[in-house]
């Protein structure tokens, strides 16, 4: 079997034990005589799966009882709209922090729904850092403050989250479950599953139940958070396969030692790569040091031609997914939970050889 070193930004690498378990259970899930994809989402067997997935998320992230844990569809992109549709009432303003491409998409949807104030814009610094709390120009009485905990394209990440009076809403698509979290600091956390949690097609939403009550009555049923809370995530048919894989991924997180342990491993992986990037002027890391992402590492080379050569030769050497996002170019290595230290070491080794041949 030839599994490559996978640095894809998303959908991204999944832990091998998860894929093996899914293969083992594919034709006959738990003695049911059918796969988990072929059974009722309201039956006893799947009920145990979705309850276990929710319990794992609650335990790993320490989600308090006053929050609902939902597995929705439509990706983080639908959350860009659902957040303002549920929370941004008439005459209200929401504060948004513009740290880059994903934040900008959230802002766009916010402005389609209601009043938006951009509380900080990273444009001057080419979106290569996150702001300090003191730099935010927040609106008194704001409906919420929206941040992007990790900008997947730029490669910047919050170490500390701002303290805000209004509920803090965070798009954590690309760093959820990469480190311990204090959920109580947030009103809503959402994340597409395809970076750190499982396959695409499931969106984890953690929402404080009192905030879900703010939805206008006229909002269509599927778009209201509160529709999905009483029978969690079972108002309509959820992505049963995706929820099942998410359950396996969260079990794998436990087997590795939980989020404290994952944070240690993730920091060591990122440190190894940033050390290599800082070690020679051949490489030009993009993000400001204090905002560097542990999940997505971005850098440039001397020319676009050289970058193209790097990506091509890396791919030949079994290192895949290193092309920067089409909107910014350059190189990006995504080091999500399922990317091993061994994979990062192989990348660093390849970089040394590439520099020797092209420096």
Ligand X SMILES: *Cc1c(COP(=O)(O)O)cnc(C)c1O
Catalytic residue among 120, 175, 195, 224: 195
Catalytic residue among 171, 175, 224, 323: 171
Residues between 188 and 207 that touch ligand X (CB under 6 A) = 192
Residues between 216 and 255 that touch ligand X (CB under 6 A) = none
Q: Kindly provide the b/e burial profile for residues 257-275, where b requires at least 16 CB atoms within 10 angstroms of the residue's own CB.
A: eebeebeebbeebbeebbe
* Distance between CA atoms of residues 320 and 42, nearest Å: 39
Query: Does 122 help bind ligand X (rule: CB under 6 A)?
Result: no
Number of chain residues interacting with ligand X (CB under 6 A): 11
* Distance between CA atoms of residues 267 and 271, nearest Å: 6
CA-closest candidate to residue 190, choices 246, 148, 138, 250:
148
CA-closest candidate to residue 335, choices 172, 152, 207:
152
Which residue in the set 76, 94, 286, 351 belongs to the binding site for ligand X (CB under 6 A)? 76
* Distance between CA atoms of residues 15 and 154, nearest Å: 25
Stretch that binds ligand X, among 167-175, 210-218, 259-267, 328-336 (CB under 6 A): 167-175
Torsion angle of alpha carbons 246, 205, 222, 210, nearest 10°?
Answer: 140
Chain residue whose CB lies nearest ligand X: 75
Give how far Cα 151 sits from Cα of 156, 211, 218, Å.
Answer: 5, 25, 33
**Known catalytic residue at 171:** yes
Query: Does 77 help bind ligand X (rule: CB under 6 A)?
Result: yes
Nearer to ligand X, 87 or 276 (CB): 87
CB–CB of 148/102 below 8 Å?
A: yes
Least Å distance between CB 29 and ligand X? 26
Query: Does 102 help bind ligand X (rule: CB under 6 A)?
Result: yes
Nearer to ligand X, 77 or 117 (CB): 77
Which residue in the set 148, 240, 291, 337 belongs to the binding site for ligand X (CB under 6 A)? 148
Judged by the rule CB under 6 A, the positions of this chain that interact with ligand X are: 10, 75-77, 102, 148, 152, 171, 173-174, 192
Residue positions annotated with a catalytic role: 102, 171, 195
């Amino acid at each position: 079997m030839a599994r490559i070193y996978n640095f894809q930004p998303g959908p991204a690498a999944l832990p091998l034990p998860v894929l093996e378990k899914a293969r083992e259970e594919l034709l006959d899930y738990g003695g049911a005589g059918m796969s988990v994809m072929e059974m009722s989402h309201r039956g006893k067997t799947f009920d145990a799966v979705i309850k276990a997935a929710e319990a794992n998320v609650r335990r790993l992230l320490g989600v308090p009882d006053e929050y609902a844990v939902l597995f929705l569809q439509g990706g983080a992109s639908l959350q860009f709209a659902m957040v303002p549709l549920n929370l941004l009432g008439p005459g209200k303003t929401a504060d948004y922090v513009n740290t880059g491409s994903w934040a900008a998409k959230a802002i766009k949807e916010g402005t389609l729904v209601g009043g938006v104030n951009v509380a900080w814009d990273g444009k001057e610094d080419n979106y290569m850092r996150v702001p300090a709390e003191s730099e935010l120009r927040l609106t008194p009485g704001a409906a919420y403050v929206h941040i992007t905990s990790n900008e997947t394209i730029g490669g910047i990440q919050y170490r500390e989250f701002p303290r805000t009076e209004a509920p803090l809403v965070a798009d954590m698509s690309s760093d959820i479950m990469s480190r311990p979290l204090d959920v109580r600091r947030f009103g809503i956390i959402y994340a597409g599953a395809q970076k750190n949690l499982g396959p695409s097609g499931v969106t984890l939403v953690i929402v404080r139940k009192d905030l879900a009550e703010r939805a206008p009555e006229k909002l269509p049923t599927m778009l209201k958070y509160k529709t999905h809370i009483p029978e969690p995530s079972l108002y309509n048919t959820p992505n049963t396969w995706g929820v099942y894989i998410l359950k396996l991924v969260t079990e794998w997180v436990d087997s590795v030692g939980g989020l404290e342990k994952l944070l240690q491993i993730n920091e060591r992986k990122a440190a190894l790569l940033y050390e290599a990037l800082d070690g020679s002027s051949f490489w030009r890391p993009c993000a400001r040091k204090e905002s560097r992402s542990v999940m997505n590492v971005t850098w440039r080379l001397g020319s676009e031609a050289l970058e193209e050569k790097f990506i091509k030769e890396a791919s030949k050497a079994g290192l895949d997914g290193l092309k920067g996002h089409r909107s910014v170019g350059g190189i990006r290595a995504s080091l999500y939970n399922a990317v091993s230290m061994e994979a990062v070491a192989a990348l660093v080794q390849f970089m040394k050889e590439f520099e020797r041949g092209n420096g």
